[in-house]
Amino acid sequence: MANLNFDASKIETNSYQPLPDGWYPVAIVEADMVRTKDGSNEYLKLCYEITGPEYTGRKVFDGLNINHANQTPREIAQRNLASICKAIGQLQVASTEQLLGAQLLVKLKAEPANDRYEARNRVAGYKASSQAAAPVAAPAAPAAAPKKAPWQR
C-alpha cells in the first residue's frame, strides 16, 4: 500500500456544466478518425482546448461524420470540416496531424439534458481566430457637418 498524503480540501474541482453560448478561442489538441459503435461508419473526432481568456484549459468535443453511409450527415460534416480548414488556413488536409495545434474560434451552444445525454455543449460554428481581434461594430451614423462658431460664416 502506498501513502498518498493528499488533501482534497485544498484543490478546486472541475465543473462540467455546459459553457455559456458564445464564441471561444480554441486549439485543436486531438484529431482522429474513429469507427462508430456499430462499426458501420467512421467520424472525425476532434478535441478543442479553450485558450482563454475565460475557461482556459476546458475541453470541448466535436464529431464530424466524414465517412457516413447516409449522404446528409456526410455533407454536413464536410461543410463543417471545410469551415475548420478555412478558419485555420489549411485548405488541403491529408492527415489529422495537420489539424493539431491549429487555433480558431468555435461557437458553442448549450444543449439541455435529455433521455440520452446530460446537458452539454454542441459546436455550432467555426471561424478564424484573427476575427476575434476585430469585433463587429454597429454601422457608424453619417457624420454631421461640424458646427461653426457664431463668428464664422
Which three cell numbers, joined as nine digits, stand for 78?
Answer: 464536410
pTM exceeds cut of 0.85: no
Q: Which residues of 75-86 are buried (b: 16+ CB within 10 A; e: fewer)?
A: eebeebbebbbe
Greatest Cα-to-Cα distance within the chain, rounded to the nearest angstrom:
94
Q: Is the pLDDT of residue 143 over 90?
A: no
125 vs 130: CA distance, rounded Å: 15
Which three cell numbers, joined as nine digits, stand for 86?
Answer: 478555412
Please give the pLDDT value at position 22.
96
The DSSP H or E segment spanning 35 is strand 22-35
pLDDT in tens, 90-118: 999 999 999 999 999 999 999 999 999 89
All structural domains of the chain: 17-130 (2.40.50)
